[in-house]
Amino acid sequence: MPEGWARTDAGIRGWNVESVLNAYRAKLPSFREALEGSGPIGLATSAAVPLGEPNLFDQNTVLAFAYALLLASRNTGRVSVLDWGGGLGFHYYLSRALLPDDVEIDYHCKDMPIIGRHGREAVPEITFWDDDKCLADRYDLVFASSSLQYTEAWTDLLTDLARASRRYLFLTRVPVVLHNASFVILQRIRPVESEFLSWVFNRQELLDSADRARMTLVREFLLGRRVPPGYKPLVAGAPEQDEIRAYLFTRSPS
């Protein structure tokens, strides 16, 4: 989208719509069930991806999250988590499956009002927020999974998320390019019947913004390419096709 966030088509409905909630609501029971037992946990947490057989991309994504979660909870019997843009809290169930049973999880999830209203009834184990008041507190782990890119003023949001982190900040399922400046795309997601404006970040610009927010990179994770080499580009007209990465930060020494 050369015009960036100035694009104002009526068809760009965003995330606060019934179809997105319906996709999360339909997936929740089967997602919970799939985590039972000792099988692979390569499961997609996105509302836009139906639950299927475990796969390497999603397992890699889960294991990167597990690394961040375990660091944030080590040497303690309790961990507090803020999941920014977390839908109905699928990562809470991943957290419960990944951590020992004796670790208490204080889990907070921030998402759109339509999702939060349903979540408070359907998932009482989680504290749901539909505004920025959750940022007034501090958490052992703050993370955004495929959500930072949907905010126009993303550098401001990154600073706010960093400020809310007591220990670690984890940005995951982040679309990045290496050789071009950040740009905006129009994303059509048919399973949830909606459209979204979304950033594709220049990797160095993202890291520089985290540094200004006083966060130090602990580890970068390669999750996968959105479009394998040799396939038709997914983002028509883009100067560079993106790949999906994750970044774990800790607070810089003051």
Check if the beta carbon of residue 4 is closer than 8 Å to that of residue 184: yes
pLDDT for 110 equals 96
**How far apart are the C-alpha atoms of 211 and 199, rounded to whole Å?**
19
Whole-number Cα distances in Å, 96 to 79, 92, 160:
11, 6, 26
- At residue 49, the pLDDT reads 80
**What's the pLDDT score for residue 10?**
56
Kindly give the pairing relationship between strand 165-177 and strand 139-145: parallel
d(CA 171, CA 200): 14
Domains and CATH numbers, the chain: 4-251 (3.40.50.150)
> What per-residue confidence (pLDDT) applies to 194?
76
Residue 204: the pLDDT is 98
Give the global pTM: 0.92
Residues of the chain with pLDDT under 70: 8-11, 226-233, 254
